């Protein structure tokens, strides 16, 4: 419809270069952009414009409904954006040009006689890229429109006034150690507020400022890749990389921004476990009981997590039956414990061949292995100061009662099982023989009585004897000694009862008058019995007889029989 209007717009050319691109602004091609970034020429052209260079519309077909004004212009005078001109304008001042729309009267002011439009302040394309305005030509006296109103656009011309910015930095990334060269780590992206469709103001190129030769960045994608083979986490784990994004396609004079990228190498299993010693010496006392810890050793593995886990096994050695190996999962140490008691006097040293292995292997690095190590553990058995030991677990002796003091009862014998073979001293702990019936020879362990014993008072003297090492740690041992007092027949039998016997007259001969029995304090052997007889005083009295019931038991009662009375 603009074709039909007679309102002419004079474009103010900002210079030949700017002009040409403005003329085809609707269909800018890459070849045009190639010219557009020569900003010095833009500034130069501005100077010329101030001299009043004005181009007239010379042919139809322009995209002439657009004005261009460069952003961020800070000259002393307002920028002339363009000029409205109507064909009916004869230059006599009867036409009045009116501007309305976005920014009319504030940002854009028009000289209503000449049609010159000026921008009153600097414009920022990144704030507002274009303004839609309406031009009118009216008769100055009647205010009658001389042309239909026509809409046009003022486009703010981009300059490179915005640096690239990494909006998501700083970045944290990780990549496995030993990765192949070219392994992608992370992609970083910067943004540029300038016009991406125009010139190179927003055309970014990435480069690496810090982090070479370990990493590289792809210039156009911002993808960071590894650049060095065999990067070893165990040598260096963290890298501070700085990436720069530069606009103007990376050329001189472009603006730039940087981002920090912290790259951490993650672990792979590329180190075997390693014992620091070829031989580990340990010792165990012979008095340790099975289950007790003998010692620890550790194979170091510089890898992390499960790559650094170590398992231990005993491969061989004469100590295999006596010691077992386990792992302290907290410290990753091998723990050697006693499995069976050891005896210094029997065998004084054992050897174990211990292997440490990584349970989790990485197939890619198998050839760098083997992921195991072996070492020798030498365990010496230490002599423990063991208490003396009696030759018997207990002793039983006999001594005759009434034997005189000083009679030999028996002899105990203990000895020191240690190599030192310390001499032994014996004694009877007083509390086991309160009345001091016995003495013992400290040197040779012979027990004697101190006085004669009476079986009928105490038949057993169950005492203890202790044996103590002289020297060493004075360890001692005790043994039970049961002493039996042997009986001798030193007691006369007595009647069990001492009663008078009353009997009636005229009893029938053969009647049992009384049964008597006897007791004896002495020990009664089996089938032993008493012999009964009538006292001599009545032995010739034929009126009574005594019947000895010998036979069944040791204390059979006797019958006294009343003889027939005449
Ligand atoms: C003493 O030891 C003997 C034999 O072991 C035992 O028959 C007896 O009952 C013990 N006497 C005492 C008082 O412990
Ligand atoms: C020795 C004795 O005392 N014998 C007497 C037995 O009994 C007759 C009759 O009762 C006496 O006459 C005896 O003296
Ligand atoms: Ca820019
Ligand atoms: Ca590793």
Cβ-contact 284, 342 below 8 angstroms:
yes
Whether pLDDT at 41 is above 60 = no
Instruction: Give the span between the Cα atoms of 207 and 219, in whole angstroms.
Output: 6
At residue 5, does pLDDT exceed 50? no
Task: Report the share of the chain in percent with pLDDT over 70.
Answer: 84
Nearest to 115 by CA among 153, 72, 80: 80
The CA distance from 27 to 21, in Å, is: 9
pLDDT recorded at residue 159: 81
Considering only CA atoms, which of 8, 136, 19, 133 is closest in space to residue 70? 19
Q: Cα–Cα distances in Å, from 281 out to 336, 338, 388?
A: 12, 15, 30
135: confidence class by pLDDT, cuts 50, 70, 90: confident
Range in 10-24, 422-436, 507-521, 524-538 with the lowest mean pLDDT: 10-24
Q: Which of 386, 321, 406, 315 is nearest to 357 (CA)?
A: 315
The residue whose CA has the least distance to atom 4 of ligand 1 is 482
Predicted pLDDT of residue 550: 61
Q: What whole-number distance in Å separates Cα of residue 497 and Cα of residue 6?
A: 170
In the β-sheet with 256-266, what is the strand arrangement from edge to edge?
171-176, 256-266, 238-246, 205-210
Mean pLDDT of the residues in the chain? 81
Nearest atom in ligand 1 to 459's CA: 11
Q: How far apart are CA 400 and CA 477, in angstroms?
A: 28
Contacts of 357 by beta carbon, 8 Å cutoff, 6+ apart: 273, 310, 311, 313, 371, 372
- 79 DSSP β-pair partners: 119
The pLDDT of residue 428: 96
- 65-80 pLDDT, tens digit per residue, is 677 877 777 777 888 8
Res 527: pLDDT = 52
- What pLDDT score was predicted for residue 174? 96
Please report the atom of ligand 2 found closest to the CA of residue 541.
1
Cβ contacts of 383 within 8 Å, gap of 6 or more: 285, 286, 344, 345, 418, 419, 420
Please tell me the number of the ligand nearest to residue 539's CA: 2
Q: Three-class SS of residue 521?
A: coil
Query: Is the confidence at residue 182, as pLDDT, over 50?
Result: yes
pLDDT of 146:
82
**Residue 35 clears pLDDT 60, i.e. is over it:** no
Residue 362 to residue 179: CA distance in whole angstroms: 13
- Nearest 5°: phi and psi at 42? -65, -45
143 lines ligand 2 (CB under 6 A): no
Decide if pLDDT at 436 tops 80: yes
At residue 112, the pLDDT reads 86
130 or 395, higher pLDDT: 395
The alpha carbon of 165 and the centre of ligand 3 are apart by a number of angstroms equal to: 10
State the pLDDT at residue 512: 75
User: According to the model, what pLDDT value does residue 318 have?
Assistant: 95
- Closest residue to atom 12 of ligand 2, CA basis: 566
Ligand (nearest to CA of 201): 3
Answer yes or no: is the C-beta of 538 below 6 A from any ligand 2 atom. Answer: no
Amino acid 36: pLDDT: 36
What average pLDDT score do residues 325-343 get? 94
CA distance readout (Å), 32 to 22, 29, 71: 10, 5, 19
pTM of the model: 0.54
d(Cα 207, Cα 68) in Å, to the nearest integer? 34
Centre of ligand 3 from the C-alpha of residue 248, in Å: 7
Task: Tell me: pLDDT of 475 over 90.
Answer: no
Whether 212 lines ligand 2, by a CB cut-off of 6 Å, is no
Residue 540 alpha carbon, nearest atom of ligand 2: 1
Q: How far apart are CA 56 and CA 377, in angstroms?
A: 102
Residue ranges lining ligand 1, Cβ < 6 Å: 460, 462, 482
pLDDT of residue 508: 75
Structure tokens at 361: 């292997």
- pLDDT by residue (tens digit) across 239-286? 999 999 999 888 888 899 999 999 999 999 999 999 999 999 999 998
Q: Residue 496 C-alpha to ligand 2 middle, in angstroms?
A: 29
Supply the pLDDT for residue 48.
33
Ligand sitting nearest the alpha carbon of 537: 2
Q: Which ligand is nearest to the CA of 364?
A: 4
Residue with tokens 């004084």: 348
Residues 6+ apart with CB under 8 A from 135: 7, 9, 84, 97, 98, 99, 149, 150, 151, 152
More confident: 222 or 511: 222
């Amino acid at each position: 419809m603009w074709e039909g209007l007679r309102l002419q717009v004079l474009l103010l050319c900002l210079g030949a270069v700017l002009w040409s691109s403005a003329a085809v602004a609707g269909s800018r091609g890459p070849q045009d952009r190639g010219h557009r970034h020569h900003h010095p020429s833009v500034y130069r052209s501005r100077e010329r414009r101030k001299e009043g260079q004005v181009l007239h519309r010379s042919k139809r077909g322009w995209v002439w409904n657009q004005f261009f004004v460069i952003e961020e212009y800070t000259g002393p005078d307002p920028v002339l954006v363009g000029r409205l001109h109507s064909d009916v304008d004869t230059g006599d001042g009867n036409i009045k040009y009116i501007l309305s729309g976005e920014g009319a009267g504030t940002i854009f002011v028009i000289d209503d006689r000449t049609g010159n439009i000026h921008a009153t302040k600097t414009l920022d394309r990144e704030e507002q890229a274009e303004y839609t305005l309406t031009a009118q030509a009216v008769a100055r006296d009647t205010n009658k429109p001389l042309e239909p109103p026509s809409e046009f656009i003022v486009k703010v011309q981009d300059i490179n006034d915005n640096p690239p910015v990494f909006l998501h930095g700083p970045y944290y990334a990780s990549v496995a150690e030993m990765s192949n060269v070219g392994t992608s780590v992370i992609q970083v992206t910067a943004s540029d507020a300038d016009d991406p469709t125009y010139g190179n103001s927003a055309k970014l190129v990435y480069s690496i400022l810090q982090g070479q030769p370990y990493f590289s960045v792809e210039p156009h994608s911002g993808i960071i890749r590894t650049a060095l083979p065999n990067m070893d986490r165990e040598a260096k784990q963290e890298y501070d990389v700085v990436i720069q994004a530069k606009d103007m396609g990376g050329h001189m004079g472009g603006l730039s921004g940087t981002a920090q990228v912290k790259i951490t190498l993650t672990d792979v299993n590329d180190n075997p476990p390693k014992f620091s010693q070829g031989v580990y010496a340990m010792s165990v006392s012979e008095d340790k009981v099975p289950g007790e810890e003998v010692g620890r050793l550790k194979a170091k593995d510089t890898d992390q997590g499960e790559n650094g886990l170590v398992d231990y096994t005993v491969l061989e050695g004469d100590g295999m039956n006596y010691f077992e190996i386990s792992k302290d999962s907290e410290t990753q140490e091998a723990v050697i414990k006693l499995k069976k008691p050891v005896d210094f006097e029997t065998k004084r040293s054992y050897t174990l061949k211990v292997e440490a292995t990584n349970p989790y292997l990485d197939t890619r690095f198998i050839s760098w292995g083997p992921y195991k190590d072996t070492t020798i553990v030498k365990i010496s058995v230490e002599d423990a100061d063991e208490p003396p030991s009696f030759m018997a677990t207990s002793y039983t002796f006999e001594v005759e009662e009434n034997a005189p003091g000083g009679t030999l009862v028996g002899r105990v014998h203990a000895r020191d099982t240690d190599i030192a073979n310390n001499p032994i001293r014996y004694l009877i702990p007083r509390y086991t023989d309160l009345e001091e019936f016995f003495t013992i020879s400290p040197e040779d362990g012979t027990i004697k009585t101190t006085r004669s014993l009476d079986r009928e008072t105490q038949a057993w003297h169950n005492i203890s004897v202790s044996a103590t090492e002289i020297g060493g740690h004075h360890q001692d041992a005790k043994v039970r000694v049961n002493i039996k007092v042997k009986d001798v027949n030193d007691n006369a039998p007595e009647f069990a009862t001492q009663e008078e016997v009353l009997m009636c007259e005229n009893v029938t001969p053969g009647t049992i008058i009384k049964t008597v029995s006897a007791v004896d304090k002495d020990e009664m052997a089996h089938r032993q019995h008493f012999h009964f007889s009538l006292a001599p005083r009545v032995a010739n009295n034929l009126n009574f007889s005594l019947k000895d019931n010998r036979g069944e038991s040791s204390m059979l009662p006797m019958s006294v029989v009343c003889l027939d009375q005449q």
